Amino acid sequence: MFSREKNEIRFYSDSGIEMLYKICLFLCLLPGLVSGQFIFQNLRTNDGLSSKVIRSLYKDKDGYLWIGTIKGLNRFDGAIVRQFGIETGLRDLYINAIQPLGKDDLILGTRQGVKVFNRKEGAYVNDQRFEQLNTIDIYNIYLDGFSRLWFLTQSGIYIFLNGKLVNLETMVPDAEILRNAKYGLSILVWDQARGGFWMGGPEIYFIDCRNKTIYHKSNNPNRVPIFDVSNVFAIAVDAEGNLWYESRNTKSLNFWNQKTNKMISYSELDGERIYEGCNKIFIDQKGRVWISTWAFAAYLKEPGEPIRKIPYSQNRKYSIGYGFFWAAIEDVEGNVWLGTLNGISKVQANAPVQAIYQLPSFKYFLHTGFAHANSIVVENSTIMAAKEDGVVRFNMKTRMHQRYIPDNGPDLVKNKFFMSVKSEGIWWFAGLDGIHFLRPGGEKLEPLLTGAFRFKAKPANLIFVDSVGNIWF
């Protein structure tokens, strides 16, 4: 043991060391000690999906995930994917939207019109109330804050009001300004605080359901900055009523704080210039902003953190399915589901493994091509790894690393470390070449030399710190 207060060394028996090792090992195996971003669980065509291209998602009160693909309706029960519509010739429906309808039905927006599906019977049913929309392209279906269905179609916007379909102009006479809108390029996003829909597209509108009016560039009494731009195809509203939106014209992602009326514009996402804008922005209950772009790269902004790219690799099972998603939902458990161009990716709310990071490897005494970590300590956003090829400090926020090794010249085997601990700002390491430490802000490891003992003389396999800051090894 090394006591920093008394600067003295005490030795204990092998049995005591064995017990300390067992305690330390137990602590290292406790779940939940590592916090990071996330890992993804994926569903793909080899899991039973009828298509890898996912356009819409809905999770019902019974826990079933309903999946709208470009080749029909699927359902995932947590274990098995089932496809529907094969018997009735509706297997290849291009499904843009899924919403609940009454107690047992789902209403689907497809390229072949509106379809109604009964969940209990597991079959499509006829519903004359939607006959008007049976043969036209349905771009999307939305649910407003008053539990009414809104249909964005090739011929305009319709609302399911009091058991029947009505054109938007019936409810909001000012909507005549939308008669020439390009609905195929438009989106609707519900704003609970303002009681209406933002309508994105070549031009920007706000459909005020409470006051039965339409706001736009020429009718902007509150001088909301989103009306000053055009070609906005992705919008999201956070819990405080602030807006996130992209602009294809300025190739930017923008944040508007409605309280301060201030704007933040991003022309780059994690160091990469925005190419052709964003196709989807989604904000979950934790305030995380999920961003999909036309560059086929996805990004995440956590509260108080910079925007970071979500790593994608087709060779890793825990990677996001693809860096582009059309659909995003959050279920009652807090799980986030993304419908990508390569299946469905799920981020579990309370996963036992929250992050996977790949640490760099360097040349060392074995010729395996990689060096494994013998122990890992996580402190806030820092990972300190004791590896076969030295000590590696990894910053989870910046994703930058720094390597530390003893000054041993060409003898690579002496770069091997087994464990690391931190006490009063100083990192301590046990390795094949003894005990080393790293001072705050230090750039190199220093050997522990005290009194008549020179600890570089023999290996140190174990090190930990007790409750009062003493270092045990």
- Domain coverage including residue 21: 2-36+356-472
Beta bridge partner(s), residue 188: 199
Q: Which of 75, 86, 125 is nearest to 104 (CA)?
A: 125
Residue 464 lies in a domain: yes
Give the phi and the psi of residue 47 in degrees, each rounded to 5: -95, 0
Q: Residue 31 above 60 pLDDT?
A: no
Q: Which of 443, 411, 408 is nearest to 427 (CA)?
A: 443
Query: What is the C-alpha to C-alpha distance for residues 7 and 9, in angstroms, rounded to an integer?
Result: 7
Residue 109 lies in a domain: no
pLDDT in tens, 333-366: 999 999 999 999 999 886 544 555 666 777 766 6
Question: Which positions ≥6 away from 95 have C-beta within 8 Å?
Answer: 55, 56, 68, 69, 70, 72, 73, 108, 109, 110
Q: Residue 124 above 50 pLDDT?
A: yes
Residue 388 lies in a domain: yes
Q: Which of 195, 192, 219 is nearest to 205 (CA)?
A: 219
Q: Which of 267, 266, 270, 274 is nearest to 296 (CA)?
A: 274
In this prediction, residue 357 carries a pLDDT of 62
Residue pair 68/117 in contact (Cβ under 8 Å)? The answer is no
Report the chain's terminal Cα–Cα distance, integer Å: 6
Residue 204 lies in a domain: no
| Residue 396 pLDDT level (bands cut at 50, 70, 90) | confident
pTM over 0.85: no
In this prediction, residue 89 carries a pLDDT of 67
Residue 435 lies in a domain: yes
Structure tokens at 145: 């804050």
Q: Which of 28-42, 49-63, 433-447 has the highest mean pLDDT?
A: 49-63
Instruction: Specify the 3-state DSSP secondary structure of 75.
Output: strand
Structure tokens at 266: 């991003």
In this prediction, residue 143 carries a pLDDT of 96
How many structural domains comprise the chain? Answer: 1
Structure tokens at 94: 């291009």
Residue pair 346/67 in contact (Cβ under 8 Å)? The answer is no
Residue 22 lies in a domain: yes
